[in-house]
Structure 1
C-alpha cells in the first residue's frame, strides 16, 4: 500500500460502490413509477406540500391523475404492514396535490435539438413520453386518431379531473398535437424516432416480437413501443413513457436501442429494516373519509420510517458529523488525490477512529476504517497529512519507547516462558495496575518477563508505517532474545497490533490468564488481607464496556465478564458490545483533528446505559473518567484497589468532570514511576536517581487546575508550557500587556506553535492562558529606515 502511484490509487474509486444507502426502499420498489417516497414524505413531514408535490411530479409527471388512479402497490411493500398498518401513501399523494400552493411547471432554456420525434397515441404513456422529450428541447409531434386527448382516461376518470392536468403539462411545453390523425404506416412519418403508444388493441405495426421490454426498443432502429398496447396499466404506462423518452434520447445521440440503465424500473429493495425499536402506531384516518387535511397528512407522514440503509451512521458518529455517507466520502477522498485543496477531506479521514465497526455491521462489508487508514498513508506520502494531528501522540509513543521503556526477563532468568506486556497507557493511567499485576504474576509464573513500551498503534494511526514496522521489529527482537515466549496482554489494542504486524508472536489476554492462575488476595493499598479472597469491591450491577479492538477476541471479552461475575457483580449487556463493540472515541487519535467529535462520541458511549461500566482498556477508562461516567478498570476489581486512591478513578468534584485525573505530564510521570517501582521491587535496583516526577523546568510555573483540564483536551503538555516560558524569559521575546499585567510569548516546538500568557510573581510565574496552532511565525529582525 505504501508508495502506491496515483494510477494504483484509482483502484479505490469503487471501494464503496456496493453501498446501498440511498437505494430504493421497499415501497418505492413496489411502485411502477419508482417514486422517491422518502423525499416526498420528508417534505410532508416538514409541512412543505409544494416541495412534496414537485418531488412527486418528477416521476408521476401528471400528479393529479396518478393520485386518483394509483392502486397502492406500495402498501404491499411497506415494512410497517407486519407491525401495524402500511403507510397510506396514496392519501399522502392526494394531500400533495390538494395542499400544494405552487404547481407551476419549471422551464429550462436549452438549445433546440435538430432531431425530431413522432409519438403515435395521445394517451397517458404517449403524452408522458412527449412531455419528457419536449422538456429536453426535442421537437415532438403527437398523432392521435381520435378527436380528444387522454385515451382510456375517459373510461376511468371524470374529464374535469384529468383534462386540466394534461393541459397544465402540455401548455408548459412546445408540443405539437394532431388530433384526428391516424398513422397507417411508419414510413409516412418524416422523423428521426418514433414512439408507438396506440393503446389497447391499437396498431403495433408488427413490432412486438423481439422487442426489449426494458428499454422498449424494437427490432426496427429508432422505433419504440409503450403503453396499453403492451398491456400496461395507466400508471405503468406513465413509467414506460418516461423510460422510453430516455431511450429515445440515447438512440438519437449514439444510435443505440438499449436505453438508459438508470431509468429502468427497479423492483428490488437491497436492504432490510430493523423494526425491533419501532413502536406500533395506527394509521391516520381522514376526517372526511377521502382526503387528509395538512395536520392529518403530517401525522400519517410521521409514521413513515423513511426506510434506508443507515447501519454505518447508526453505529458511528463520523458520518453524521460530516453529513456524508460512504459513497460520497470515497468519491471526495479519491478526488482529493488530484488537488492540494483537500483540507476538509483530510480532516474527515483524520476524524475516523479506524475501529472497523462499519465494516463489521455493513451488509456489504464496506470498512471505511480500512479505507481511511490507507488514505492517511497517501496523504502523508503527498505531504498533506498535518503532522500536528499526531504530534502529541507520536511524542507520547517516543516517551513510552525511550525513557519509560523496559524489557527484562524475570529476576534470575535470561529467558522467559511468558512476557507481560501491559501497553503504554495502563501505567500512565494508574501505575499500580502494572506494578501490582506484575508482582503477582511473578509469584504464579516465576519466569514471567516484562516489557514496558508501546505496541506501535500510534504510528499506524499517524500513517507512519515505517516507524510502526520499526517498533514491531524491536519487539520481535526482544521476543527472540527471550526465547520466543508467549506474550500476556492487558490491552486489546496491543494484542490486535501484534496479531496484525507480529503474527509469529503467540499471545493471551491477561484476563484469561488470571482465570487460569487465580488472582491475588489484596486490599485497597495493595497489601495482602486475610479473608478477602477476591479483593473485590461491592459493585452489585454494572455493564462491561468492550473496547473496539476486542471485537474479534471473544475469549478476552468472556474472561473479563467471568472475572466481574466472580466478583459478585450482576452484569447487563450494553446495546453495542461483543462483535459490535463501539469505539470510546480514543481510537485513531482524532482528538487533534476533531476534538468536538471525540467529545460527542465519549458522551454518547457514557450515556449508553445508566449503570456503571467495567472497562479493560486504559483509554476507554480515561475517556469515561473525563466524561464523568462511573467506571472501574477490571484490574481494580482483581487487585482490590480503592477508587478513592486511584487517580484514574476519583469522583468528579467542584463541577469539573476531570477533577482528580492525571494531567498529561503526570501520565508520563506515572509511566516512569511504574518502571522505577518494578525495578526496585522485583530486581532490587536503586532507582532514586531516576526522574519520576513531572518536569518543573528552570523557572517555577503555577498552572491552575482549570488550565490543566483544557491543556489535556488540547494535548498541551506541562513541559511545553515550561519550555515556552523559559524561552520567553531567557530571550526577552515576550510582549507585556500592562492592562492585564501579563506577558505574552510563543515558541515553536516540532510542528506546533505554542502561545502562553503568564504573570510574574514573587513565587515565580503563574500561567493565565495557553493555546497552540499549526502556523509557523516568521519574524524579521530588520530595521527599516524612513
Structure 2
C-alpha cells in the first residue's frame, strides 16, 4: 500500500499540480493534505472522505517535478475510507451494478477455441456502444490468429477506483487465474481501463492493447476513414503509456488521418470528467473537466477522436466524439449517436451470440 509519508516528505509545494486541478485548488496542496493526515487520525479520515472529490486522473503526478506521487496518496485515501467504512457508496450503485452485471451470465462468456493462446478482452463499454466495430476488430484479428479467443467479462476497475480493494482483488485474481489455467499467454485489450487494471495486477500472461497488436501484425485498415483531420483525446488512465499513445497516432496517420494535438495531450492529458466517478459525488467538478477538455478541442478546429469508449460517452453529451476503432473499421459518413439503455445492453448480448456463431 502506498505510504502517504512519501508525499509529505517529497512534495516541494511548487503548486504546479494546483494550477491544473480544481480539487487541489479547493482542498489544498498535496503536501498540506499529507501532513494533516500524519498529524491526526481525524484529519486522515477527513482527507479520506474528501478524496471522493478527486477525479483520480493522475495529472498531479504527471506535472510533479519531484515524483511526490500525489495521485497515489488520493488512491490510498479512498482505500482507507472503505476499510474504515467512512464513506458510503450508495450513490455509486449504478456504476457498481454495471460492474457486477459485466461479470455474470448472460453478459459474461468465454469463447476459447482449441489451441487458444491469445484472447481478445474488449471490456464492457466498447461492445455496448460500438458493437459493429468490436465485431469487425475481432473478426480481423481471427483472420490472422484463427485460434484467437474472446473473453467477455468485467475487470472490476470501478471497485478499485472507489477504494474497494478486497472485492476488486478477489475479482481480478479469479479472472486472471481462469486465464492462466486455460493456458492463455496473451490478452489483447481494447479498453484503457481494462488494460491498466490487468497491467497493475501483474499477471503471468502478457498484456497488449489492440492498437499495438494491429501494428505488430501489420494489419492494413481496409476502410477509408470518414474523418480526415482529428485531435486525439488520450484517456487519463493511460497517460503514462507512451507506446500505446504512439500506436494510436501511427494507426491514424497510416490510414490517412491528419492530427492536430491539443495543449494537454499524451502524458499531460486532462480528464474527460468521468474519472474517479467524481460525477456521482461532485457533478460540478466533472462538468468542469468536461468543459475544459471540449474547449481545448474546439481550439484545434477539428473533431475529437479517442480510444476510450467511456470518454467517448461522457464527452459526447457536449460534442460529438469518434472512437478510433469505429473510425477505422466501420463505414460511416459522420460521427454516430451513441446507443442508450436498454440498447447498449442488447448490443453486449449480441456480441456474445454472434461470436458463438462464428
Describe the SS at the equivalent of 1:544.
strand
Any runs of at least 4 consecutive aligned residues in structure 1 with deviations exceeding 4 A, and if so which? 331-336
CA contact (8 A) 1:357 1:367 kept: no
Aligned length: 354
How well do the aligned residues superpose, as a CA RMSD in angstroms?
2.4
Match status 1:409 vs 2:112: yes
Q: Does the C-alpha gap of structure 1 residues 336 and 398 become closer, same or farther in structure 2, counting only changes over 3 Å?
A: farther
Match status 1:638 vs 2:322: no
Match in the other structure for 1:435: 135
- How do 1:163-182 and structure 2 match up within 5 A? none
Q: Does the C-alpha gap of structure 1 residues 597 and 618 become closer, same or farther in structure 2, counting only changes over 3 Å?
A: same
CA contact (8 A) 1:340 1:384 kept: no
Deviation per residue, 1:285-339 (Å, 9 max, x gap) = xxxxxxxxxxxxxxxxxxxxxxxx331123333223x252213333455567337
For residue 454 of structure 1, report the CA deviation from its aligned partner: 1.4
Deviation per residue, 1:220-248 (Å, 9 max, x gap) = xxxxxxxxxxxxxxxxxxxxxxxxxxxxx
Q: 1:495 aligns with which of 155, 170, 195?
A: 195
Match status 1:352 vs 2:54: yes
Q: 2:306 aligns with which of 606, 615, 618?
A: 615
CA contact (8 A) 1:544 1:573 kept: yes
TM superposition score normalised by structure 1: 0.43
- How do 1:438-457 and structure 2 match up within 5 A? 438-457=138-157
For residue 353 of structure 1, report the CA deviation from its aligned partner: 2.4
Match in the other structure for 1:504: 204
Match in the other structure for 2:178: 478
- How do 1:251-290 and structure 2 match up within 5 A? none
TM superposition score normalised by structure 2: 0.90
Match status 1:676 vs 2:345: no
Match status 1:394 vs 2:84: no
For residue 17 of structure 1, report the CA deviation from its aligned partner: 4.0
Paired with 1:331 and 1:382, the residues of 2 have a C-alpha distance of 20
Match status 1:325 vs 2:29: yes
Paired with 1:471 and 1:616, the residues of 2 have a C-alpha distance of 25
Q: Does the C-alpha gap of structure 1 residues 340 and 587 become closer, same or farther in structure 2, counting only changes over 3 Å?
A: closer
Q: 2:222 aligns with which of 534, 544, 556?
A: 534
- Larger helix percent: 2
Describe the SS at the equivalent of 2:86.
coil
| Unpaired segments ≥5 residues, structure 1 | 3-10, 22-308, 521-532, 651-659, 683-786
Q: Does the C-alpha gap of structure 1 residues 643 and 491 become closer, same or farther in structure 2, counting only changes over 3 Å?
A: farther
Match in the other structure for 1:590: 278
Paired with 2:333 and 2:237, the residues of 1 have a C-alpha distance of 25
Paired with 1:346 and 1:643, the residues of 2 have a C-alpha distance of 47
Paired with 1:469 and 1:329, the residues of 2 have a C-alpha distance of 27
Describe the SS at the equivalent of 1:416.
coil
Describe the SS at the equivalent of 1:627.
coil
Describe the SS at the equivalent of 1:455.
coil
For residue 550 of structure 1, report the CA deviation from its aligned partner: 2.1
CA contact (8 A) 1:567 1:637 kept: no
For residue 643 of structure 1, report the CA deviation from its aligned partner: 6.0
Q: 2:64 aligns with which of 348, 356, 362?
A: 362
Q: 2:15 aligns with which of 310, 316, 323?
A: 310
Match in the other structure for 2:233: 545
CA contact (8 A) 1:442 1:448 kept: yes
Deviation per residue, 1:171-230 (Å, 9 max, x gap) = xxxxxxxxxxxxxxxxxxxxxxxxxxxxxxxxxxxxxxxxxxxxxxxxxxxxxxxxxxxx
| Larger Rg, first or second structure (1 or 2) | 1
